[in-house]
Amino acid sequence: MVEPSPLVNKELLRKYFPDVREFRDIQEAAVNRVASGRPLLCLMPTGAGKSLIYQIAGMRTEKTTLVFSPLIALMNQQASRLEKCGIPSVALHSGAYGGTQFYEKVRLLFCDQVPRFMFLSPERAFFNGYLEHVFRKYRDRMGLVVVDEAHCISQWGHSFRPSYKTIPSFLRNVFGSTERIPLMCLTATLNPKDQDEICRDFSLEGDCIMRSPFLLRKNLNLGFEILRDERAKVERLEELLKRHRGEKTIVYAHRIRSDYGTRALTEQFKAKGVVCEFFDSEAGEDHKRRVMEDFEEGRLPVVFATNAFGMGVDIPDIRVVIHYLVPESIEQYYQEVGRAGRDGTPSAGYLLFSETNLRVRRDMIRASFPSKNVIQTTFMRKLRPKEDSPVNSINPNLDFSDESKDSLVFHALVDHGVIKVLTKAISSLKCFAPITSQGAQLLENYLQVSKIGSIKLIAKRKGVSVQEIADRVYCQYDEGAIRLQSTPASTLFYRVERDLTESVLNEIGSAIEERKSSRLGNFERFVQMISSGAKPESLIREHLGVAR
């Protein structure tokens, strides 16, 4: 394998990122590894320039780079910054392209000016069949796949996102099981279990991991403060906000609906004259976008947030991170406190801790896992096969609410072979209207079989697969023979492979209990670290296994 010339890296750096004088840390070595076609799991500290690695590596391919990203705000920021550098980019999410707009945008992705970078949430990849169809059609024009914030893959970690687990199958469906497109996974830190899970999911070999020797930045002044109760914590929080008045500050409350959640603290401190807002998963996209923009531009100095705020977002001049609720692990603490001081200027991290936090955090960890009863109830009510219907379907947008554990249950049932996902497609053809005679004939032939346009019913009566019908319809849409007249309902088609017997339920419950115990154990170890009186910096270095 021919090693790439470092001169190309420097030319791309000068041309597109003139404000960056040189590569730092392991950036260039990571670029060269991926440019050589080898997969990479890259661990670098927050704010150390992980994004630049995939940006330079992606530009080297002279093809399109697909970036899986967890947050709309992060996708928007990265795409916007690349556009300003003269690099065509697009963020594919509902906030930018809603309804039929999204499908039309995807249809034209590889026409005219093809984006060099496409940002996509794993949830979109999980259930949008047309997106998968287009990527498969144009897979030869794609040169790199990036999984950003890769710690979201691991079921052992605090930031697990079930849809991240479906990325490997999405890539197999697009690129085939034998063809290997260069792959890069990026994150700040992973414990051994997280690393093993990511390497296993993506079939990465042991030598694929590159790890910065400087995982803790020296400009962070960190402190743990043990306080007697919530009242003392509120008083200390008020003192800190006064001390750092006017400085960009994130306060991690980690809860939404509680006396000390994002909403209540925002109202409480607004009443005290603090210019602040909340940012959490229940906030609308317009609210989150406005808060992010105001915070970045300095109009909003204080944000009360859950961990939905700041993941991977590059705001270099955040001066203060305050943990009002103790994180659940040293990894979470490290990732969140690392959002301060990305510009190298001295910055502070305060962790306010009281004994009452222990019960709250333990309850939050336990509540994040579905019980055996929830698994059984979800299966019986939503996923159990219907009579005379070997192929079943579900619409994740409608059937998996953000507040429920339905998505976790679905993925657990897939992991344990109870459910097998067959394909993803639209549920009905009634959303299409003909443009040409060829398109009219196609729709008429199918709608004669099912007047409501049910793709599942048409497949059954014609004796073909749902995938075959979806592909024919998608091709006609690609060619402009039919058009969308309403938004398609994206649907997962699956088959139940095993009965959910008591023994299978116990098997799934045991696996979930093991993960729960692991996370609770990580929390207890972190509490011991806090209570030891040792300096946070030394604890993090010891935990990460780095000397400096």
Report yes or no: 215 and 43 within 8 Å, Cβ to Cβ. yes
Residue 401: pLDDT above 70?
no
Residues near 40 by Cβ (< 8 Å), separated by ≥ 6?
A: 30, 33, 34, 183, 184, 185, 208, 209, 210
Residue 51: pLDDT above 50?
yes
Residue 179: pLDDT above 90?
no
Q: What is the biggest distance separating any 2 CA atoms in the chain, rounded to whole angstroms?
A: 77
CA gap 91, 44 in Å, rounded:
24
Report yes or no: 230 and 354 within 8 Å, Cβ to Cβ. yes
Collapsing DSSP states into helix, strand and coil, what is residue 246?
A: coil
- The rounded radius of gyration (Å) of the Cα atoms in the chain is 24
Share of the chain above pLDDT 70, in %: 95
Domains 6-211 and 220-365 share a fold: yes
Report yes or no: 51 and 119 within 8 Å, Cβ to Cβ. no
Q: What is the pLDDT of residue 474?
A: 96
Q: Minimal CA–CA distance to 378: which of 336, 413, 409?
A: 409
Give residue-wise pLDDT tens across range 342-398. Answer: 888 999 999 999 988 888 899 989 999 999 999 999 999 888 877 667 888 888 877
Could you identify the residue written with the tokens 């602040």? 276
Residue 40: pLDDT above 80?
yes
CA gap 250, 314 in Å, rounded:
14
CA gap 427, 454 in Å, rounded:
6
Report yes or no: 389 and 425 within 8 Å, Cβ to Cβ. no
Q: Which helix (H) or strand (E) holds 408?
A: helix 406-415
Q: What is the pLDDT of residue 312?
A: 61
CA gap 157, 188 in Å, rounded:
13
Collapsing DSSP states into helix, strand and coil, what is residue 223?
A: strand
Residues near 232 by Cβ (< 8 Å), separated by ≥ 6?
A: 354
Q: Minimal CA–CA distance to 149: which of 54, 81, 234?
A: 54
> Token pair of 299, please?
């109009």
Question: DSSP per residue over 49-117, as a string?
Answer: -HHHHHHHHHHHHTSEEEEE-S-HHHHHHHHHHHHHTT--EEEESTTTS-THHHHHHHHTTTSSS--SE
- The identity of residue 391, as a single letter, is V
| Mean pLDDT score, 398-404 | 68
Backbone angles phi, psi at 466, to 5 degrees: -60, -40
What is the DSSP pairing of strand 302-305 with strand 220-226? unpaired
| Fold assignment, 6-211 | Rossmann fold (3.40.50)
43 bridge partner residues: 187, 211
Report yes or no: 218 and 180 within 8 Å, Cβ to Cβ. no
Q: What is the pLDDT of residue 383?
A: 87
Strand order in the sheet with 183-187: 89-92, 117-120, 64-68, 142-147, 183-187, 40-43, 209-211
Backbone angles phi, psi at 273, to 5 degrees: 90, 5
Domain definitions of the chain by residue range: 6-211, 220-365
Q: What is the pLDDT of residue 545?
A: 64
Residue 521: pLDDT above 60?
yes
Q: Which residues of 185-203 are buried (b: 16+ CB within 10 A; e: fewer)?
A: bbbbbbbeebbebbbebbe
Residues near 523 by Cβ (< 8 Å), separated by ≥ 6?
A: 328, 329, 361, 362, 365
Q: What is the pLDDT of residue 177?
A: 75
Residues near 466 by Cβ (< 8 Å), separated by ≥ 6?
A: 391, 422, 423, 425, 455, 456, 459, 493
Report yes or no: 379 and 498 within 8 Å, Cβ to Cβ. no
Residue 1: pLDDT above 50?
no
> Token pair of 503, please?
């023994």
Which pLDDT band, with edges at 50, 70 and 90, does 190 fall under?
A: confident
Residues near 502 by Cβ (< 8 Å), separated by ≥ 6?
A: none
Chain-centre distance for alpha carbon 301:
26
CA gap 158, 148 in Å, rounded:
16
CA gap 291, 285 in Å, rounded:
10
In this structure, how many other beta carbons lie within 10 angstroms of the beta carbon of residue 224? 21
Collapsing DSSP states into helix, strand and coil, what is residue 350?
A: strand
- The identity of residue 497, as a single letter, is E
pTM above 0.95, yes or no: no
Q: What is the pLDDT of residue 501?
A: 93
Q: Minimal CA–CA distance to 411: which of 156, 173, 148, 166?
A: 166
Give residue-wise pLDDT tens across range 339-348. Answer: 889 888 999 9
Q: What is the pLDDT of residue 283?
A: 86
Residue 3: pLDDT above 60?
no
Tell me the CATH number for domain 220-365.
3.40.50.300
